[in-house]
Amino acid sequence: MSDEKNFELKLLGTGTSTGVPTISCTCATCVSTDPKDKRLRCSALITYKNKNIIIDTGPDFRQQYLKYGINGLDAVVYTHHHFDHIGGFDDIRGINFTSKKALPIYLNTETLENLSRIFSYAFRDYNETGNGIPMVDVNIITEGEIEISGIKITILPLLHGSLKVLGFRIGNIAYCTDTNHIPENTLKLMKGLDVLILDGLRPKVHKTHFNLDQAIEQARIIDSKQTYLTHIAHQVMHSEIEQKLPNGINLAYDGLTIKGRI
């Protein structure tokens, strides 16, 4: 990536909240030997000029960081506060040990409130753990555009049921996990995309996620050149569903790396 406008987005996890395989399940997908049916919890890595930004630190954050050989972390941006997107927050400590400074995090107010509740020890004014706490520099975001390590990120307000969550547009790529409604004003921010990563949970309708048919319909409205469906449940076997999808729409999988341009 020698061009100064190029970046990479790598999907570190593409699974639903339980991950796939789901523990104690013996369905065809959960016992599949296809690597594309092995899905860690949803997260993505943005790499630009040797700077790394991660979207969400779920319960598999440490495993993903080690699996993909990530070398340093410059910031985390959070979509929302559900545990499958924040559960690995404590492992930020490892980043602090190396960098010797607080890690910038970008999130909305509700996500911060829940992080502060679940990981309360990290947000107190006194030390009860011998400095063994995740140290973060908190930045509240709701809409508009932010710039991190030289890369501009457009915030995409979404709905996940009744919960206000965030998607992100980086250049010609948009990342919209955990949603079942994209407001009209957000759709305007998504014009001209080359790649869309979009929630597509399973065939059956769900109250807070796009199912496959709804995701396909939404992808057609957004009209990106390529769409990848993520946050995939174990009701989806990659080899079976992939061949049924329309042209330009595919299932994402862990490790998928997409070249982007800002």
Tens-digit pLDDT profile for residues 150-193? 999 999 999 999 999 999 999 999 999 999 999 999 999 999 99
Q: What is the mean pLDDT of residues 223-250?
A: 98
The radius of gyration of the chain's CA atoms, rounded to the nearest angstrom, is: 18
Instruction: Collapse the DSSP code of 66 into the 3-class scheme (helix H, G, I; strand E, B; otherwise coil) and give the result.
Output: helix
Strand order in the sheet with 6-13: 136-140, 103-107, 75-77, 51-55, 43-48, 6-13, 257-261
For residues 18 and 24, is the Cβ–Cβ distance under 8 A?
no
CA distance 179 to 211: 10
Q: Which helix (H) or strand (E) holds 104?
A: strand 103-107
Which residue has 């699974």 as its token pair?
15
pLDDT given at position 124: 79
Count CB-CB contacts under 10 A for residue 144. Answer: 9
Burial class from Cβ neighbours inside 10 Å (0-12, 13-18, 19+) for residue 44 reads: buried
CATH assignment of 6-261? 3.60.15.10
pLDDT given at position 3: 76
Confidence of residue 1 (pLDDT cuts 50, 70, 90): very low
Q: What is the mean pLDDT of residues 203-224?
A: 98
For residues 84 and 59, is the Cβ–Cβ distance under 8 A?
yes
Burial class from Cβ neighbours inside 10 Å (0-12, 13-18, 19+) for residue 105 reads: buried
Whether 128 shows a pLDDT value over 60: the answer reads no
Query: What are the angstrom distances between the C-alpha of 20 and each of 85, 91, 214?
Result: 15, 22, 22
pLDDT given at position 125: 64
Quick one: tokens of 51? 């700077």
Instruction: Collapse the DSSP code of 241 into the 3-class scheme (helix H, G, I; strand E, B; otherwise coil) and give the result.
Output: helix
241-250: list long-range contacts, CB under 8 Å, 24+ apart. 241/203, 241/212, 245/212, 245/216, 246/216, 248/219, 248/224, 249/215, 249/216, 249/219, 250/226
For residues 107 and 85, is the Cβ–Cβ distance under 8 A?
no
**What pLDDT digit, counting tens, does each position of 133-151 carry?**
999 999 999 999 999 999 9
